[in-house]
Structure 1
Amino acid sequence: MLVQDLLVGLERAVSAGEHRVWAMRCAHALGLGGIAVSLRWGAELVWFSDEVSARLEDAQFTLGQGPGLTSDFGEVPCQVGDLQVAGQWPQFAAEAAALKVRAMFVWPVRSGAVRFGTLTGYRTTPGLLSRQEAADGLRVADALSGRLLAWRPGTGEDGEGTGQAGAVELHRVEVHQATGVLSVRLGVPMDEALIRLRAQAFASGRPLTETAREVLSDLPP
């Protein structure tokens, strides 16, 4: 399926709550294994095609390193053709290797000149994108930018009723909740509580969301 056909069907996919199916088809059209969209410098994962994409974003957020967290978009997309020889982000590269991911590509999700998120894709084989794939990825990122900016939590497009199905999937709600719990429990600011939660997840070798659920499970019923 062509990227143009997928972009035409974006609204229909959102309305039907089929954003993961759409995202996977889009990834394949771009020659990628999967894609994910994160906001606020990786703090919130809102759209992903598969578990590998989600785990890559979680690893970047937990470790505080990875191509999706780069602040330099001198070239679009940011292309890492082989994570194992790039020499950057050694801890993240090890996590990616465990997922059999070799290459990653990052496009800015933006409004005008303001970047508020990233579209990240991966491949299990090394190599760079073709010029067409790079351009098509930017078109996808821009389309998703418009969709995310139009979405209002808990409201329809007319400002009434429930939010539109499938517009976003707040993957780290439990992480934010657990951060608040630790902040109160330990008597530390939210930023420090999040750092401690991330450190706990890294030390245990478990996903951040799983670590957050464990913290929440200790709460009284």
Structure 2
Amino acid sequence: MSREQLLATTFVDLADTLVANFDLIDFLHTLTSRSVELLDVDAAGIMLADPNGGLHVMASSAEEARLLELYELQSNEGPCLDCYRSGRPVARDDLTAMSASWPAFTEQLRGVGFHSAQALPMRLREETLGALNLFRAEPGLLSEADLRVGQAMADVATVSLIHERTIAAGELLATQLQTALTSRIQLEQAKGVLAERVGLRMDEAFEVMRSYARGHNRKLTDVAAQIIEGTLVDEILRAK
């Protein structure tokens, strides 16, 4: 598939939330994985705000990105937090500038092998739902063309989420977000079980789980629960 075809498919996927059994976590992982495929980045992650304005790590394309975003929250510094608070894109030209703004985060960033991070808001007008974090192994900022594509994807995803919430009288998305926050713990447990059993990296284990869920028209949370229970691991291994 060409980049243009993948880009078109991505916008369709990010706009298609009005489906039965809409899966918020899978939707957000589509945004992170397509960001890596379409942009000059090596990893991506998403933080979304809960109804009280607290940020939570909701999706990541790689384990390193997830750990970095968790560290942002713990240390209360980093591009994603600044992006959400300001509602504007956040970037620094180099590691020196990053260290001046986010010393602890930048040290952690380098520790996991990245040398650049910037964030794009998931925002519609005055409402900011969260931020998309983009990480690069090489120093330097994204090109203007990539920034436009990345922001467009974040915008479409935001509009879709707000539309979904509006259709459901303002309650469904908040409920789904709270459920997704709870299920993230379950997903991390299932990833660990599968990774240990099969001998995979954590992010590889997640992709196996996600592929199985999609191939069998199942929700990720249901698949994760059965992996933890031990009733699905053998079947996933056979399917893999």
TM-score (norm 1): 0.61
After TM superposition, give the deviation of residue 145 of structure 1 in Å.
0.6
Separation in 2, partners of 1:172, 1:126: 35
Counterpart AA for 1:26:
S
Please list the CA deviations of residues 53-95 of structure 1 after superposition, one character each: whole Å capped at 9, or x if unmatched: 211210100000111121446xx53223433553221111111
Count matched residues. 168
- The alpha-carbon distance between structure 1 residues 22 and 118, as it changes in their structure 2 partners (threshold 3 A), is closer
Residue 134 of structure 1 corresponds to which residue in structure 2? 147
Does residue 1:118 correspond to 2:122, yes or no?
A: no
Q: Percent identity?
A: 22
Residue 49 of structure 1 aligns to which amino acid in structure 2? Answer: S
- Between the aligned partners of 1:45 and 1:172, the Cα distance in structure 2 is 12
Mapped pair 1:56 → 2:56: no
* Higher share in helix: 2
1:170 is aligned to 2:181: yes
Query: Contact 1:81–1:102 at 8 Å: present in 2 too?
Result: no
Stretches of structure 2 that go unaligned for 5 or more consecutive residues are 186-240
Counterpart for residue 45 of structure 1 = 57
- Report the CA distance between 1:32 and its aligned residue: 1.1
Report the TM-score, using the length of structure 2 for normalisation.
0.57
* 2:193 corresponding residue in structure 1: none
Q: Structure 1 residues 119, 63: CA separation in 2 closer, same or farther (over 3 Å shift)?
A: same
**Is the 1:36–1:54 contact (alpha carbons within 8 Å) kept by the matching residues of 2?**
yes
Q: Is the 8 A contact 1:109 1:142 kept in 2?
A: yes
**1:32 and 2:41 aligned:** yes
CA RMSD in angstroms comes to: 3.7
- Extract unaligned runs of 5+ from structure 1: 175-221
CA distance in 1 between counterparts of 2:115 and 2:76 reads 19
Question: What does the per-residue CA deviation read over 1:124-155, in whole Å, with 9 as the maximum and x for residues that have no partner?
Answer: 11011111111111101111112332446xxx
Say whether the 8 Å CA contact 1:109–1:118 is kept in structure 2.
yes
Q: Which moved more, 1:100-109 or 1:33-42?
A: 33-42
TM superposition shift of 1:4: 3.2
Q: Mapping of 1:1-221 within 5 angstroms?
A: 1-2=3-4, 3-10=7-14, 11=16, 18-19=26-27, 20=29, 23-40=32-49, 43-70=55-82, 71-72=85-86, 77-86=89-98, 87-151=100-164, 169-170=180-181
Q: Is the 8 A contact 1:37 1:45 kept in 2?
A: yes
| Structure 2 counterpart of 1:196 | none
- The structure-2 alpha-carbon separation of the partners of 1:84 and 1:59, relative to structure 1 and needing over 3 Å to count, comes to farther
CA distance in 1: counterparts of 2:40 and 2:46, whole angstroms: 17
Q: CA deviation at 1:35?
A: 1.6
**In 2 relative to 1, CA 171–80 (structure 1 residues): closer, same or farther, beyond 3 Å?**
farther
Supply the distance in 1 between the matched residues of 2:138 and 2:182 (Cα, whole angstroms): 27
Q: 1:81 to 1:169 in 2, by over 3 A?
A: farther
